Structure 1
Amino acid sequence: MSNEPSNAADARRRVTELVREARICMLTTIGVDGRMVSRPMVLQEAEFDGDLWFFAYADSAKVRQIRVNPEVNVSFSDSRRDAWVSIAGTAREGHDRAKAEQLWTPLLKAWFPDGPDTPGITLLKVRASSAEYWDSPSGTVVQLFGYARAAVTGRPPRVGENREVSY
C-alpha cells in the first residue's frame, strides 16, 4: 500500500521521529557481484535532515562497495513502537575530522579504539532521495484484534499508516 501524504512536511517530520527513535539500522549496499549486502549500523546523528552519518573503516567491504556503486538503502525497525522506515539514497565516503569530532560518542570506542584518530577511520554520509515508513501506533493487542477481524470478514486489516516521502 502506498499513499501520498496529504502534508509532505508532516510525513518528513514523522520519518525524522522514527529514525531518531530507532537509531540502529541495516545499511544495504550493492556488492561488486551485484548482490545486495546488508549489515547493522548505528546512526551517528539522530537529527535527520536528509543526511545520515556513520563511522566505518575505509578498507571495509561496505566502503569498497559504495565506491563502486553509491546507491544504498538504510532501513530502521523499532519493534517497541511497531514502526519501520526504509530510506533510499546515495552514499559517499570521506574523512572529515571536524565532522568526526562532532559526531563522536564514547560508545564508538568499542569499534574505533583511538577515537577519531583511529587509523583507517572514515565517515559515510548517506543523502536520502526518498523514504517510506510504516507506523502502527496501536498496541499489539489492537493489531491482533485487527488480524482476527480480517480473518472473519475477509478484508485486509488496517495496521497503521504507510507513507512515501521525497527529499
Structure 2
Amino acid sequence: MPDVGKLKEHLWKKLTDGPVMMVGLSEPRSHAEPLTAQLDKDQVDRIYFFVGKDNRLAGGGSAMAQFVSKGQDYFACLSGQVAIDNDRRMIDKLWSRPVEAWFPGGKNDPDLALLRFDIDEAELWEADMSLSGKLKMLFGGKIRADEEGSHAKVASTAI
C-alpha cells in the first residue's frame, strides 16, 4: 500500500527542485507547452505560471499538466482548471529574477499575465524501486509489486 502522504509531499519537493511542467488545454484540445511552476506554500491544490497575455492557455478552461522530476524518479499527471488571475499580491509574492528575464517591463509589463492552475485531481508515481528490484530490472528478472515503487490517484494534493 503506497504512503499517499509521502507521495503528495514529494510532489511539492520535486516541483521545487525542478519546476518545469507541460501544460495544455483539454477543450479545445491543444498541445501542451513547457511552463515554469510558481509555487505558493500557503495554497493547496494550486500552481501559478507567468505567461504572456497571448499565450494559448490565457483563454482558460479545463487543462492537464504533466511533470517528470529531474531524476526521472517521480511522475505526476494533474487535471484541473486554468484561468488568468492577475492578483497583484500574488504577482509580487511570486516575482523573481528568472521571471523578469521573460518580462523586461517587470511586474508592469503590458504582456504579463499570471495563470492560475486549480488542481481537481492528480495521479502520482514514484519510482522508489528497491535495490533487488533494480538488479532484477538490469538482468531481466521478474519484479515483485513491493519492489516497483508507489502510485496513487488523489482528489487533493494537500499533504
Global fold match (TM > 0.5): yes
For the pair 1:166 / 2:158, whether they are aligned, the reply is no
Local SS of the residue matching 1:149:
coil
Distance verdict in 2 for CA 1:14–1:79, change over 3 Å: closer
Residue identity in the other structure for 1:76: F
Unaligned 5+ runs, structure 1 = none
Two-structure CA RMSD over aligned residues (Å):
2.9
CA shift in 2, pair 1:46/1:144, >3 Å = farther
Q: Which residue of 1 aligns with 2:109?
A: 118
The aligned length equals: 154
Is contact 2:130–2:148 with CA below 8 Å preserved after alignment? no
For residue 32 of structure 2, the aligned residue among 15, 31, 38 is 38
Q: In 2, are the aligned partners of 1:112 and 1:121 still within 8 Å (CA)?
A: yes
Q: Which amino acid aligns with 2:81?
A: T
> Given that residues 146 and 157 in structure 1 are in contact (C-alpha distance below 8 angstroms), is that contact kept between their aligned partners in structure 2?
no
- Give the whole-Å Cα distance in 1 for the aligned partners of 2:84 and 2:14: 25
**Which has the larger share of helix?**
1
What residue identity is the alignment partner of 1:126?
F
Q: C-alpha distance in 1, partners of 2:31/2:40?
A: 23
Structure 2 length normalisation: TM-score?
Answer: 0.80
**Cα distance 1:13–1:157, how it changes in 2: closer, same or farther (>3 A)?**
closer
Please name the residue that 2:63 is paired with. Answer: 72
Secondary structure of 2:82's aligned partner: strand
One-letter identity of the residue aligned with 1:90: Q
CA contact 2:26–2:64 (8 Å) conserved in 1: no
Structure 2 Cα separation of the partners of residues 140 and 41 of structure 1: 34
Distance 2:20 2:132 in 1: 25
SS of aligned partner of 1:37:
coil
* Distance change in 2, residues 1:137/1:123 (3 Å): same
Maintained 8 Å contact 1:19/1:85: no
2:53: which partner in 1? Answer: 58
Specify the code of the residue in structure 1 equivalent to 2:149.
Answer: G
- Deviation, 1:131, is 0.9
CA separation of 1:35/1:71 partners in 2, compared to 1, >3 Å: closer, same or farther? Answer: closer
Normalised to the residue count of structure 1, the TM-score between the two structures is 0.77
Give the letter for the 2:44 counterpart: D
